[in-house]
Amino acid sequence: MKILETKTAPNARRVRMFLAEKGVDIEYIQVDITQGENLSPDFRSKNPWGKVPVLELGDGTCIAESIAICRYFEETVPEPPLMGRDPLERAQIEMWQRRMEFSLMLSVGMAFQHLSGFFKDRMTPVKEWGEINKEAVSKLLAQLDHHLASSTYIAGEQFSVADITALCAIDFARVIDVRPTPEQTHLTRWHQQVSSRPSAKA
């Protein structure tokens, strides 16, 4: 069992952090996305969609998509639970995980792709769209600061996969030069708390 990933990619970090929380020790194989290694026939035989990370099981079965990989380990290594303990908690954590993903992570990614030109050999950057997303990220951080005034973690009183997604998105936002501001005291408190977990260094 191994994971094909790119150390610097925020989605890869989500999976590493999730597995570190679970205490899962697994082999990581690096894929150089700057050289388009993820678009090679070999990689595409594992994930036709050309994205990292990919979990490759012992029998060669491959699972792509960060959260699908996390779900696999949530079920096979249940402790500590990071996706909820009962149907309601699981739905609420999934709701927050998705909010962090579809708003925050996606906006950071769009701003990065459309402003940095990092993937300009394989996509058409649209500067105006990048700027809209960068502005959206700042607004989302303010919204999160407000939310965290009355919530210890993103999805309530316990650490979950929603915190992992939010942390990886916010830390990656450095590439578009957006960071929590000192006035965002609740977001800053949460950020320090979550960053101090050993898994944040995975």
Smallest separation (angstroms) from a copy of itself to the CB of 142: 13
Q: Amino acid identity of 99?
A: R
- Of residues 29 and 57, the one with the C-beta less far from a copy of itself: 57
Q: Is 99 exposed, middle or buried (0-12, 13-18, 19+ CB in 10 A)?
A: buried
The encoded tokens of residue 13 equal 């970090």
- Of residues 94 and 200, the one with the C-beta less far from a copy of itself: 94
Q: Which of 94, 64, 63, 73 is nearest to 22 (CA)?
A: 73
Task: Give yes or no for residue 69 binding a copy of itself (CB under 8 A).
Answer: yes
Q: Amino acid identity of 178?
A: V
- Of residues 4 and 200, the one with the C-beta less far from a copy of itself: 4
**What is the rounded CA–CA span in Å between residue 76 and residue 23?**
12
Smallest separation (angstroms) from a copy of itself to the CB of 88: 7
Q: Is 87 exposed, middle or buried (0-12, 13-18, 19+ CB in 10 A)?
A: exposed
- Of residues 35 and 76, the one with the C-beta less far from a copy of itself: 76
- Of residues 103 and 158, the one with the C-beta less far from a copy of itself: 103
Binding to a copy of itself (CB under 8 A) within 83-142 occurs at 87-88, 90-92, 94-95, 98-99, 103, 124, 126, 128-129, 132
Smallest separation (angstroms) from a copy of itself to the CB of 198: 26
What percentage of the chain's residues is helix, strand, coil (to nearest 5)?
60, 10, 35
Smallest separation (angstroms) from a copy of itself to the CB of 196: 28
**What is the rounded CA–CA span in Å between residue 49 and residue 85?**
32
Residues lying near a copy of itself in the complex (CB under 8 A) are found at 48-49, 57, 61, 63-65, 67-69, 71-72, 75-76, 87-88, 90-92, 94-95, 98-99, 103, 124, 126, 128-129, 132, 143, 147
